[in-house]
Copies of this chain bind each other. A is one copy, B any other.
Amino acid sequence: MLQPASTPISISLDTIQSLLPQIDVFDTIRQGFIAYSKGEAVIPPVGELLFDQPPGEVHIKYGYIKTAPYYVIKIASGFYDNPKQGLPSSQGLNLLFDKANGQLRAILLDQGFLTDVRTAVAGAISSKALAPSQVNSLGILGAGTQAFLQWEYHRQLIDFQEVVIWNRSPEKATALAEKIQKKGGRARVTNSVEELARHTQLIVTTTPATSPLIQKDWIQAGTHITAVGADMPHKIELEPELVAEADLVVVDSISQTKRQGEWSQALRENLVQDGQAVELGSVLENPKLGRQNDQQITIADLTGVAVQDLMISQAIFENIQ
């Protein structure tokens, strides 16, 4: 006699947000990357669905860690005309299934929030692992939700005195600076990416740019850049020559960089070769693979890996039970 399937738990955005402070997100995501780079995860290529009227994009990331009890399917979308209708552009959810029998356990109705968080956490972890020993200024390109969250998680791991913000729309950059100031940070706006690049030791790029924003010649010795914007094949934030000539490029997923991210752009131009990038999980497990001295230029190129979605969804689910 077959049993009825167990009923999945539906977890609202409010509940997710209230549970998040109970989770050590840094350790959770760090463990995910380490397992991934040790080959303990099964993560197929990212699924992608594109729309043109109105413009939109959906990413489907899915997979599991062999020793963990769940598999995840994460759906995150960006519909960039939404704000005109008073809707957030990010939408999406995480689904957690029992890996022993395929049953759906939890529907995390996070509307893209967990994707935003795990992306910012990965950025902060990467910067912590690779930044030079002294960071006076943190530079941020972009002024959206992700830019704010990168500041929020970076300041938990790294000491810096000031944030310098550049954004294509200066009004939004000013709004972000004010938001950061209200939260106790020191922030200023610049209208020059070059000025930002020349005067900050740690740069985080969070834009949907499709042509390079940062030129190689602007970057000083010792700088670290964490690039999180380029999550699709046509997106790019850094001049490929910068990627090619950096002393160290760390990527979250070597297999994904064949298709998306800053490394993929440099690969396409034959400026770098497969096998020259190091995976983030390997550096987290063995810091000797990271920055060697305060003169190196280092880059973390993050495209987002399903193992992050798995780890953060699992942590929320286990905290609700």
Taking a contact as CB atoms under 8 Å apart, the answer to whether B71 and A49 are in contact is: yes
Taking a contact as CB atoms under 8 Å apart, the answer to whether A91 and B104 are in contact is: yes
* A42 adjacent to chain B (CB < 8 Å): yes
Give the Cβ gap from A67 to chain B, nearest Cβ, in Å.
10
Contact pick for A88, options B5, B58, B82, B99, CB 8 Å: B5
With A44-B49, A47-B44 known as contacts, the answer to whether A58 contacts B77 (CB < 8 A) is no
Size class of the contact patch on chain A:
35 or more
A64 CA to B49 CA, complexed, in Å: 9
Taking a contact as CB atoms under 8 Å apart, the answer to whether A91 and B5 are in contact is: yes
The residues of B that contact A111 with a CB separation of less than 8 Å are: 5
* A320 adjacent to chain B (CB < 8 Å): no
Give the Cβ gap from A313 to chain B, nearest Cβ, in Å.
15
* A87 adjacent to chain B (CB < 8 Å): yes
| A window 32-58: CB within 8 A of B | 42, 44, 47-51, 54, 56, 58
Question: How many copies of this chain are found per oligomer?
Answer: 2
Contact pick for A62, options B3, B47, B64, B79, CB 8 Å: B47
For A1-35 the 0/1 string (1 means CB < 8 A from B) is 11101001010010000000000000000000000
The residues of B that contact A267 with a CB separation of less than 8 Å are: none
Taking a contact as CB atoms under 8 Å apart, the answer to whether A103 and B75 are in contact is: no
Taking a contact as CB atoms under 8 Å apart, the answer to whether B88 and A73 are in contact is: no
A211 CA to B88 CA, complexed, in Å: 50
| A window 98-139: CB within 8 A of B | 99-104, 107, 109, 111
The residues of B that contact A77 with a CB separation of less than 8 Å are: 97, 102
* A304 adjacent to chain B (CB < 8 Å): no
The residues of B that contact A54 with a CB separation of less than 8 Å are: 100-101
With A10-B10, A49-B42, A100-B54 known as contacts, the answer to whether A5 contacts B87 (CB < 8 A) is yes
The residues of B that contact A99 with a CB separation of less than 8 Å are: 51, 56
The residues of B that contact A275 with a CB separation of less than 8 Å are: none
Taking a contact as CB atoms under 8 Å apart, the answer to whether A49 and B62 are in contact is: yes
* A184 adjacent to chain B (CB < 8 Å): no
| A window 52-84: CB within 8 A of B | 54, 56, 58, 60, 62-64, 71, 73, 75, 77-79, 82-83
Contact pick for A83, options B2, B83, B102, CB 8 Å: B2
* A305 adjacent to chain B (CB < 8 Å): no
Contact pick for A102, options B1, B10, B82, CB 8 Å: B82
The residues of B that contact A71 with a CB separation of less than 8 Å are: 49, 51, 58
Taking a contact as CB atoms under 8 Å apart, the answer to whether A87 and B62 are in contact is: no
Q: Could you list some 10 contacts between A and B, CB below 8 A?
A: A5-B91, A47-B60, A51-B64, A56-B101, A56-B102, A75-B95, A79-B102, A82-B102, A91-B101, A92-B104
